[in-house]
Amino acid sequence: MTTIEEPVAVDEEKLMSFVFAAVGEVGAALNSALVVMGDKLGWYRSLADEGPATPAELADRTGTDAHYTREWLNAQAAGAYVDYDAESGRYTLPPEHAVALADESSPAYLPGLFQIAHGTIRGTPAIIEAARIGGGHGWHEHNGDVHVGCERFFRPSYAAYLVDAWLPALDGVVDKLRSGARVADVGCGHGASTILMAQAFPASTFLGTDYHHESIETARDRAAAAGVGDRVRFEVRPATESAGTGYDLVTMFDCLHDMGDPQGAALTVRESLADDGTWMVVEPAAGDRVEENLNPVGRAYYGFSTLLCTPASLAQDVGTALGTQAGPARIEQITRKAGFTGFRLAAQTPFNNVLEVRP
């Protein structure tokens, strides 16, 4: 007997509510490019430093075209990034927004996050094809906005917290660094974390490693410019390849989940550490259950995981694909399987979990 199903009743009010919410999402997607535009053309900086402006005034200040500043400012006002005064025709960047959009020293600085998002979105066609076959797309295959934006997003947090909060949260590590320790920073990218530690602890020596050749070249240039080239060296090396033994501290900043073989990397760290050494793992903030991550930060990280981090892992040997929101419990399993016995959450920020792992 054929069953005729009754059509599902649609609540028109809920439908239109969703439609208008989705239109807002389209505006937000376009805004990732608009923030990058405002950052690169100096529009946020001008509004922060020189105060409110009309489109013509902003264009004149920054040497850009007033047609573009007009439309950009209106888009920013519609998104509540700037305030618009109809009487004067001027647009104001509120001081709180200026901290987030124009102050590169602030841990709340956001243009790097928008830049990596913009670069990631541009790579979507390749990810769609990879998803059809279960393939990967390597970090090195992405455009420069992904690489530069990544450092610009994470570096302000590292500068704010690494030396003053995260390292002191680890048992006995700061004393070792002050007296002279050997440190390996695995997956160092452009070397921001390595250089910050070297500047703070001149008695210690540092090795930064990454599989991405271009990032290592940038890191070497940055170390020379920072004046720490005498105690920092950078090498092209995968995380599963040993860089020696007897390290007092091994660090991984926002990279373990990107690795194809995090278990192999953990085994390599275990072999590299001194008996009383410490492995510091900094990972994106996440809970262990999906429902714990259904929030704005989790949404952004799941988006990056789909388009950037999971494809990067799948492009490598093993292809574990932990995902950006793996959570501490999953990472603890990896560390214990590698022979580590100590594991704890040492510190947290809105964007990161800092994990202390001990032999």
Long-range Cβ contact pairs of 169-175 (< 8 A, separation 24 or more): 169/346, 169/347, 169/354, 169/356, 170/278, 170/280, 170/346, 170/356, 171/278, 171/356, 171/358, 172/278, 173/248, 173/249, 173/278, 173/280
Residues 86 and 185 in one domain: no
In a domain, 297, yes or no: no
Domain boundary among 39, 70, 101: 101
Residues 159 and 97 in one domain: no
Q: Distance (Å, rounded) from C-alpha 232 to C-alpha 205?
A: 6
In a domain, 92, yes or no: yes
Residues 186 and 326 in one domain: yes
In a domain, 110, yes or no: no
| pLDDT tens digits in sequence order for the chain, 359 residues long | 556 666 788 899 999 999 999 999 999 999 999 999 999 999 999 999 999 999 999 999 999 999 999 999 999 999 999 999 999 999 999 999 999 999 999 999 999 999 999 999 999 999 999 999 999 999 999 999 999 999 999 999 999 999 999 999 999 999 999 999 999 999 999 999 999 999 999 999 999 999 999 999 999 999 999 999 999 999 999 999 999 999 999 999 999 999 999 999 999 999 999 999 999 999 999 999 999 999 999 999 999 999 999 999 999 999 999 999 999 999 999 999 999 999 999 999 999 999 999 99
In a domain, 178, yes or no: yes
Structure token digits, residue 71:
């439309």
| pLDDT for the residue numbered 252 | 98
Residues 338 and 219 in one domain: yes
Q: Distance (Å, rounded) from C-alpha 261 to C-alpha 30?
A: 35
In a domain, 264, yes or no: yes
Query: Helix, strand, or coil here: 189?
Result: coil
Query: What residues have CB less than 8 Å from 290, skipping those under 6 apart?
Result: 325
Residues 172 and 266 in one domain: yes
In a domain, 267, yes or no: yes
CB atoms within 10 A of CB 18: 11
Domain boundary among 38, 71, 101: 101
Residues 167 and 239 in one domain: yes
Domain boundary among 57, 79, 101: 101
* Residues of the domain holding 199: 155-290+318-358
Residues 338 and 206 in one domain: yes
Residues 341 and 259 in one domain: yes
CATH number at residue 87: 1.10.10.10
Q: Is this prediction's pTM over 0.75?
A: yes
CATH number at residue 277: 3.40.50.150
- Size of the chain, expressed as the number of residues it contains: 359
User: How many domains does the chain contain in total?
Assistant: 2
| pLDDT for the residue numbered 9 | 87
In the chain, the N- to C-terminal Cα span, in Å, equals 66
| pLDDT for the residue numbered 5 | 67
Residues 171 and 259 in one domain: yes
Residues 55 and 169 in one domain: no
Q: Distance (Å, rounded) from C-alpha 143 to C-alpha 121?
A: 10
| pLDDT for the residue numbered 2 | 58
